[in-house]
């Protein structure tokens, strides 16, 4: 087949799960439920962190950022997937595809940086408890929050620009449910080893460096926890960090699998199911992980539901 460079007039066809027709109805129902839970759970975290004074701390400031990120990230892909699963329209314009790629990469990259910031917050809380309020003052929290967004969008701008500079060939069928970078790279007309190497460096920086920093933070945290003699103190420290660590494992595990393997070995069929995990499952689980494991969040939720007195008796 002759190659033709994509132009802004050409559409992509998102194959989605049409090659698994027996799963489409099941996926439509499940994803609709998961998306609703994601919207509700993350919106609840944001609202609670704004209206309950007990949650007016750096930890919940960053957690509300994480919830907002998850809301945006899921919304950048799931509505398109639901339309696709319903069989109404599997097309997406070139411009729409580039926009979706840029937004999803930017939000995912921002979360990579934000999770490092949250690890630093946990490090300060556990290892420097007496200086915590001095270290994590509101101005620094705002700067780190802004830096997370700027870093994420800059990383996405670099990768998206490199992708747009490549000529793409073929029928423009994307064997995925959204415009994912590894799938787009498989449509390249020419040898892209140099471009792929540049993209790999950008992805490695936004994934490997944060993971290394987070692991380093937790080494210091665990060393500090081991020096705590009281069982109650150890339990509190592990409870403070356990939620964040679980989120880190869920998020980075799927992201590293997708973005740090060679394009030649990337399986589009497997990639679709892995993408379901980090675009839908993880954002849905994040609020549950934090609310079910966190006494302050549960207390704020019970208070909003008019059961503050009952919760207060339980606390005592």
Task: Read off the pLDDT of residues 282-306 as tens digits, 9 standing for 90 and up.
Answer: 888 888 776 665 667 767 777 766 6
Which of 25, 20, 12 lies closest to 86, judged by CA?
A: 25
Residues in Cβ contact with 76 at an 8 Å cutoff, skipping those fewer than 6 apart = 100, 103, 104, 107, 178
Q: How far apart are CA 287 and CA 45, in angstroms?
A: 7
* Residues 251 and 278: beta-carbon distance below 8 Å: yes
Dihedral angle, C-alpha 196, 202, 208, 212, nearest 10 ° = 160
* Residues 155 and 206: beta-carbon distance below 8 Å: yes
Q: How far apart are CA 223 and CA 126, in angstroms?
A: 10
Q: How far apart are CA 229 and CA 208, in angstroms?
A: 34
Q: Is 20 exposed, middle or buried (0-12, 13-18, 19+ CB in 10 A)?
A: middle
Q: Does residue 240 have a pLDDT over 90?
A: no
Highest mean pLDDT pick, 1-10, 102-111, 221-230, 241-250: 102-111
**Domain extent at residue 87:** 11-310
Q: Assess if residue 70 is contained within a domain.
A: yes
Q: How far apart are CA 155 and CA 257, in angstroms?
A: 18
Pairing of β 91-93 and β 11-14: antiparallel
Which of 103, 23, 99, 120 lies closest to 69, judged by CA?
A: 103
Our count of domains for the chain comes to 1
Highest mean pLDDT pick, 29-33, 57-61, 203-207, 292-296: 29-33
Q: Assess if residue 6 is contained within a domain.
A: no
Instruction: Select the more confidently predicted residue: 103 or 127.
Output: 103
Q: How does residue 35 score in pLDDT terms, banded at 50, 70 and 90?
A: very high
- Give the predicted TM-score (pTM) of the model: 0.85
Q: Which residue has the tokens 């998020």?
A: 251
Q: Assess if residue 195 is contained within a domain.
A: yes
CATH of the domain at 154: 1.20.1070.10
Q: How far apart are CA 258 and CA 188, in angstroms?
A: 18
Q: Assess if residue 154 is contained within a domain.
A: yes
* Residues 121 and 240: beta-carbon distance below 8 Å: no
Q: How does residue 49 score in pLDDT terms, banded at 50, 70 and 90?
A: confident
Q: Assess if residue 234 is contained within a domain.
A: yes
Residue 72 φ/ψ region, left for φ over 0, alpha for ψ in the -120 to 50 degree band, beta for the rest: alpha
Q: Assess if residue 213 is contained within a domain.
A: yes
Q: What is the pLDDT of residue 174?
A: 86
What percentage of the chain carries pLDDT values higher than 70? 84
Q: Does residue 1 have a pLDDT over 60?
A: no
Q: Assess if residue 256 is contained within a domain.
A: yes
Residue 92 pairs in a beta bridge with 12
Q: Give the burial string for 203-231 (b: 16+ CB within 10 Å, else e).
A: beebbeebbebbeebbeebeeebeeeeee
Q: Assess if residue 3 is contained within a domain.
A: no
Q: What is the pLDDT of residue 5?
A: 47
Q: At what angle are helices 231-259 and 94-127 packed, to 10 degrees?
A: 160
């Amino acid at each position: 087949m002759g190659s033709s460079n994509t132009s802004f007039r050409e559409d992509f066809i998102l194959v989605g799960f049409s090659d698994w027709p027996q799963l489409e109805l099941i996926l439509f129902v499940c994803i609709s439920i998961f998306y609703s839970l994601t919207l509700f759970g993350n919106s609840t975290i944001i609202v609670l962190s704004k209206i309950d004074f007990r949650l007016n701390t750096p930890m919940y400031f960053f957690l509300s950022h994480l919830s907002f990120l998850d809301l945006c990230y899921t919304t950048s892909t799931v509505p398109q997937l639901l339309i696709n699963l319903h069989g109404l329209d599997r097309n997406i314009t070139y411009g729409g595809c580039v926009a979706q790629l840029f937004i999803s990469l930017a939000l995912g990259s921002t979360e990579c940086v934000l999770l490092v910031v949250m690890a630093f917050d946990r490090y300060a809380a556990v290892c420097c408890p007496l200086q915590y309020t001095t270290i994590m003052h509101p101005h620094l929290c705002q700067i780190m929050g802004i830096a997370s967004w700027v870093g994420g969008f800059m990383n996405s701008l670099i990768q998206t620009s490199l992708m747009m500079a490549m000529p793409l060939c073929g029928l423009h069928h994307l064997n995925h449910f959204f415009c994912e970078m590894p799938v787009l790279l498989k449509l390249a007309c020419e040898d892209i080893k140099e471009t792929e190497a540049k993209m790999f460096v950008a992805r490695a920086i936004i994934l490997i460096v944060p993971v290394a920093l987070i692991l380093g933070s937790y080494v210091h945290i665990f060393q500090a926890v081991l020096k705590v003699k009281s069982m109650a103190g150890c339990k509190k420290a592990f409870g403070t960090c356990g939620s964040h660590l679980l989120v880190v494992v869920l998020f980075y595990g799927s992201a590293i699998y997708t973005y740090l393997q060679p394009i030649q070995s990337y399986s589009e069929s497997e990639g679709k199911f892995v993408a379901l995990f980090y675009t839908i499952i993880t954002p849905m689980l994040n609020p549950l992980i934090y609310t079910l494991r966190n006494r302050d969040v549960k207390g704020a939720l019970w208070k909003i539901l008019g059961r503050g007195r009952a919760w207060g008796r339980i606390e005592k």
